[in-house]
Structure 1
């Protein structure tokens, strides 16, 4: 249960006023295609159109803007490889304070440049460590040594309060919303927006969604307290944390009606569909709320549903990986180790008699081993329809090609593909 102290500390209307003229009141857009598909009214809360292309600016600015003059003169510190860093950088420039932003050394150059751009001379970026945890340790030590203020990405009242203004805007634009789907990483958005929405409409249904490879809030719910996951899949980087916040867990546990998980491949399919069908560019975390609709299609029929699209900072260099993950998830791409007989015509037989009319070889790596009767090859095949896969396997067997299905062996897949 959330404590009364937790509830009283969150003044969302005050935060909303504080953020006026700084953050955009982002559109709540009706989506005809999704509405028709799910037989309901689907609205997208477009935080991908925010000033820094994510909702993270709300919490960062709300906290920094409440610091006193002495704290602002000393400056602020944060640790982030993405949207939080950009929100802090923008806030530093707007409020005229110095920011030191710690990022892992592996942070893509695009994110570093974006952060520098929003800070526009007011921030110093320190690249350190191989992981976020390494980076965070350095940031906290620096904060203490220089007597600066640390700006957490989610687990503090002012940040949660700022993220809650997303909920304020939703109810201003759609007072009779019945279901709101909220992406969950550390839990700041769910705790903030969720608390505001439940306070003003106890009957509204709130659905939290995490990537399957980083189920930190789901595990917290199961264990009745936050737990640290041993490892996570960081693909959905904006919503992949090893441990949710203590305060965000308390608040989210009270207001969320359910927590669901979505496979990373499904997220990728959703990214591509939103781009191709609606010209909306979303990052993986921003696609979570739409990707989960298939899992709740029965309970949302006939209702007014809001999906929070949390961000649009998607590096174009990731699009090939996104397409690949989508094809694998949809059963349209498969990898094999195929042992080709070392005799003339073996490859021609495979192409002419094994592949179907809609199949395409997308990868082929073959090393002829003259000392053996058979030679292995890594073969990637893309299908026109997922239903064609069993017939492909039958033709391989009928023509006596020895194959290993790499898709079904995670270790082998990671090593070879």
Structure 2
């Protein structure tokens, strides 16, 4: 069995997918180009039929099965996008699919899987993370003699994802564009392995930059820190499309050869990118889809005057998450701050707080007061939003003068999760 991918595999996958997947646009982004003083192009996989690149790998892997294997049925484990690709393929090829998804998967992605799969697909929600879900899926697959379609650690899946690079280079050639840098998200490593392989063969001067969420940087940890595949003991699941505790053995070996550097992006910074892309460019991306653009800020000195490609890997963003996205962004930008304070139990104290603690442009966004009749003070949980994060030091000084024993909630993740 092959344990790596070559450009020829990707070219064969392209022929398999040619009449199935959408050739997504390669667009020059004028806003980002101006912002970073370079030429930024976006490969818009958020406009794919299932609104992510995962259809490419899923269809190619399923198409590689024999007829007898197909008839036994297929399974997969996915945080959402791979599941949609498998469901879409099962419906198109009239196959039975059992799809395992974490319980924490956004409802929007679950509903989309059911929509694309129709009567051919059964969805089973299990486990809090992708890795928990994967264990259940593999056990079920073995017990029922079905065929597991791996979301990243599969040669045919990787080859399917690599067709993005083939398309992008063909589109760029038409406009005489040569890419100096390529930024792409890493979850389990299938995307970066496929596109990295094809770029190394056909555009070897391009620097391949892998981008991971800071709370789930499993490829960086495995390749750079440990030089072996490791399982992260804890991960932040917010960037659900790229929050994987353990990368694949195949993708690990390919990434070591093709990836030039790794960037870890704070989950709050991802949220700021999502909001910026929506307000400035009217592009709706999911957290994993925003990773590549977020990385530009970290590489702005390197990419000045260069030509850059960012793969927008997905646009399956649940509208119900927008309040959380805005909150995380404000926290990252140091614009929103929470404190626990002791307020003296006497009239006029709130007016004193507003006059003496808040700046002229500060706003109270949360106020919970617990009055205790037998004590001289009551506990207040207060949220304050700044107009300029440079005002934070002055705000802290004012708060400390008002209550030297105050607790700054932003610095305590557990307390923040409990109270806010």
2:249 aligned with 1:246? yes
Give the equivalent residue in structure 2 for 1:216.
Answer: 218
Please give the per-residue CA displacement for 1:293-341, whole angstroms capped at 9, x wherever unaligned: 1111111111110000100000000000000000000010000001111
2:206 aligned with 1:204? yes
Give the equivalent residue in structure 2 for 1:412.
Answer: 415
Checking the alignment, whether the CA contact within 8 Å between 1:336 and 1:378 is kept in structure 2 is yes
Deviates more, 1:157-166 or 1:383-392: 383-392
Please give the per-residue CA displacement for 1:331-364, whole angstroms capped at 9, x wherever unaligned: 1000000111111111111123321111111111
Give the TM-score normalised by the residue count of structure 2: 0.95
Among candidates 145, 149, 152, match of residue 151 of structure 1? 149
* Corresponding residue SS for 1:376: strand
* Corresponding residue SS for 1:375: strand
* Corresponding residue SS for 2:342: strand
Give the equivalent residue in structure 2 for 1:190.
Answer: 192
In structure 2, distance between residues paired with 1:8 and 1:198:
10
Checking the alignment, whether the CA contact within 8 Å between 1:47 and 1:309 is kept in structure 2 is yes
Checking the alignment, whether the CA contact within 8 Å between 1:333 and 1:380 is kept in structure 2 is yes
Measured after TM superposition, the shift of residue 28 of structure 1 is 0.8
Measured after TM superposition, the shift of residue 95 of structure 1 is 1.2
2:320 aligned with 1:322? no
2:113 aligned with 1:110? no
Give the equivalent residue in structure 1 for 2:233.
Answer: 230
Measured after TM superposition, the shift of residue 182 of structure 1 is 0.9
Among candidates 135, 139, 142, match of residue 141 of structure 1? 139
In structure 1, distance between residues paired with 2:127 and 2:239:
20
* Corresponding residue SS for 1:120: helix
* Corresponding residue SS for 1:118: helix
Name the count of aligned residue pairs: 415
Checking the alignment, whether the CA contact within 8 Å between 2:46 and 2:315 is kept in structure 1 is yes
Give the equivalent residue in structure 1 for 2:300.
Answer: 297
Give the equivalent residue in structure 2 for 1:16.
Answer: 14
Checking the alignment, whether the CA contact within 8 Å between 2:99 and 2:123 is kept in structure 1 is yes
Please give the per-residue CA displacement for 1:146-173, whole angstroms capped at 9, x wherever unaligned: 2211000100100000000011111111
Change (3 A) 1:100 1:398: closer
In structure 2, distance between residues paired with 1:206 and 1:134:
30
Among candidates 254, 258, 270, match of residue 255 of structure 1? 258
Checking the alignment, whether the CA contact within 8 Å between 1:341 and 1:373 is kept in structure 2 is yes
Checking the alignment, whether the CA contact within 8 Å between 2:75 and 2:147 is kept in structure 1 is yes
Give the TM-score normalised by the residue count of structure 1: 0.96
In structure 2, distance between residues paired with 1:131 and 1:289:
23
In structure 1, distance between residues paired with 2:107 and 2:300:
39
* Corresponding residue SS for 2:406: strand
Change (3 A) 1:400 1:130: closer
Checking the alignment, whether the CA contact within 8 Å between 1:340 and 1:375 is kept in structure 2 is yes
Checking the alignment, whether the CA contact within 8 Å between 1:339 and 1:401 is kept in structure 2 is no
Gaps of 5+ in 2: none
2:271 aligned with 1:273? no
Checking the alignment, whether the CA contact within 8 Å between 1:334 and 1:381 is kept in structure 2 is yes
Checking the alignment, whether the CA contact within 8 Å between 2:185 and 2:210 is kept in structure 1 is yes
* Corresponding residue SS for 1:213: helix
Checking the alignment, whether the CA contact within 8 Å between 1:396 and 1:402 is kept in structure 2 is no
Give the equivalent residue in structure 1 for 2:94.
Answer: 96
Measured after TM superposition, the shift of residue 8 of structure 1 is 4.7
Written as runs of structure 1 = structure 2, the 5 A alignment for 1:25-36 is 25-36=23-34
Give the equivalent residue in structure 2 for 1:6.
Answer: 4
Change (3 A) 1:105 1:329: closer
Checking the alignment, whether the CA contact within 8 Å between 1:365 and 1:379 is kept in structure 2 is yes
Change (3 A) 1:7 1:65: closer
Give the equivalent residue in structure 1 for 2:45.
Answer: 47
Checking the alignment, whether the CA contact within 8 Å between 2:5 and 2:155 is kept in structure 1 is no
Among candidates 118, 125, 128, match of residue 126 of structure 2? 128
In structure 1, distance between residues paired with 2:185 and 2:253:
17
Among candidates 372, 375, 379, match of residue 375 of structure 2? 372
Please give the per-residue CA displacement for 1:166-194, whole angstroms capped at 9, x wherever unaligned: 11111111141121101000000000100
* Aligned-residue RMSD, C-alpha: 1.6
Change (3 A) 1:268 1:13: same
